[in-house]
Amino acid sequence: MSADKAGAQPPGVEIAFYHLTVTPLEQALPALLERVLARDWRAVLRAGSAERVKALDSLLWTYDPDSFLPHGSQGDPLPERQPVWLTAGDDMPNDPQVLVLVDGMDHPDPSGFVRVLDLFDGRDDLAVSAARDRWRARKARGFALTYWRQRPDGRWERAA
């Protein structure tokens, strides 16, 4: 990941905030990751704990009886070949274009990615407040931001 030069405008990374209000993360995440893979991009998903990584690992194998999302996590063979890498740390062995942040996780320099997906639980006041703080900090650095909210049917609608 490349670092910003002092005073330089951030590169064209789009940071998309996904405000989960209708469906839980476990329901919304697979569809978003499918879209990432449909673009032939690789992703790293950063979760809040090793236990959460384990739960998301299981989810991505079982969320659809007719499908699965190819992915890996610590201990899996050939991490560099995994289209989606799950981690609770900073490891990114698969050279990702997309960073997916859940559980209020952040990254100090998202400028090295094509897209950042920041998913947060809209029913949790602390999560919403923390997402607002991340939005303000990234806006102050000049990043291109988008805000997506869920419609009552669970589909995404761009609001900003």
> Residue 4: pLDDT above 50?
no
Number of H helices, E strands in the chain: 3, 8
Distance CA 1, CA 147 (A): 24
C-alpha separations of 76 from 46, 56, 91, 97 in Å? 16, 15, 13, 20
What pLDDT, in 10s, does the model give residues 66-118?
888 999 999 999 999 999 999 999 999 999 999 999 999 999 889 899 999 99
Q: What pLDDT is recorded for position 8?
A: 52
Q: What is the distance of C-alpha 71 from the center of its chain? A: 14
Q: What is the pTM of this model?
A: 0.91
What pLDDT, in 10s, does the model give residues 55-70?
999 999 999 988 889 9
Distance CA 76, CA 65 (A): 22
pLDDT band at 11 (very low <50, low <70, confident <90, very high): low
> Residue 9: pLDDT above 80?
no
